Amino acid sequence: MLGPPLAVALGVAAALAFPEPSDTTRARILLGGLEMAVPLAAAVACATLIGQDPAREVQLSAFTPYRITLLRRMTVVLAWTASVALLTAAVLILTGWWERWPQNHGALAGQLTWLAPTLALSGLGFAAGAVLRSPAAAGAIVTTVWAVQQFFGDAVQAHQPGRLLYLFATTRGVVPGDWTANRLTLLGTGAALIALALVLLGRPERLISEEDE
């Protein structure tokens, strides 16, 4: 639960630590904290949802399907992340920093800055957890995808499919016209990955089979 607030704090600290920045650069760092750090924190939390539940056997014998319980837990994580991100965005809008980044896309649609990558990366973490049943392995997958998009941003955006799946299109996008399609694609990808995870969790006995090996 500490992840999203710490991610926001990291963005603010980075903006304050930058020497002699222009307002545009500082605004980019602040929005970058929302678009880069907040989704990573939420995704790592979602990656750890599956695999280390101490009450797993009890959950599997309960009337409520375990995948519904896991989905509820993921909803709590995302709701908390959204609360922190919305509060931060509101502060940035009220203080004028939101407008100082030219590609801010407004106060309302601009919320997709953090919402789309958060849902996509969290869906990836949840699906990786369902496939690998190991928080460490799922966390490594999430951080790798995030890092690849950071360090190979130009290569990823060199073609249309890559641009549509690029997580940081608001602060590092090379084709601003693709922004809306990019955000919608990320939202759809996130929903598809969550659906995939729920399908995989339809056989919850897989979650305990490895412990018996």
Partner 1 sequence: MKDLLPAYAAGSLPDADRERVRLHLADCARCRADLASWQALASPHREPPPDPAALIRGVLTRSALTPPEKSPPRRLRHLAGLMLAEARLIRMAVPIASALVMALGVGLVLWQATAGAELVLALVAPIVAAAGVAGTYRSGHDPAAEVVAATPTSGRLLLLVRIALVFGYDLALAVAASAALAATGAAGTASMNTLVTAWLGPMVLLSSISLLIAVRFGPDVALGAAVGLWAVRVLVGGVLVRDGRLARFVVEVWTTNAPVLAVSAALTTVAFILAGREPPGVRHATHPM
Choice between 12 and 181, CB closer to partner 1: 12
Residues that bind partner 1 (CB under 8 A): 2-3, 6-7, 10, 13-14, 17-19, 28-29, 32-33, 36-37, 40-41, 44-45, 47-48, 52, 54, 132-141, 143-144, 147-148, 150-152, 154-155, 210-211
Q: How far is the CB of 60 from partner 1 (least distance, A)?
A: 15
Q: How far is the CB of 116 from partner 1 (least distance, A)?
A: 19
Q: Is the dihedral of CA 186, 108, 23, 9 positive or negative?
A: negative
Query: Which residues have C-beta within 8 Å of that of residue 73, sequence separation ≥ 6?
Result: 49
Query: Cα–Cα distance between 169 and 173 in angstroms, integer?
Result: 4
Query: Cα–Cα distance between 117 and 79 in angstroms, integer?
Result: 14
- Which amino acid appears at position 91 of this protein? V
Query: Cα–Cα distance between 199 and 83 in angstroms, integer?
Result: 28
Q: How far is the CB of 27 from partner 1 (least distance, A)?
A: 12
Choice between 61 and 213, CB closer to partner 1: 213
Q: How far is the CB of 129 from partner 1 (least distance, A)?
A: 10
Choice between 6 and 86, CB closer to partner 1: 6
205 HSE (CA, 13 A, CB side): 0
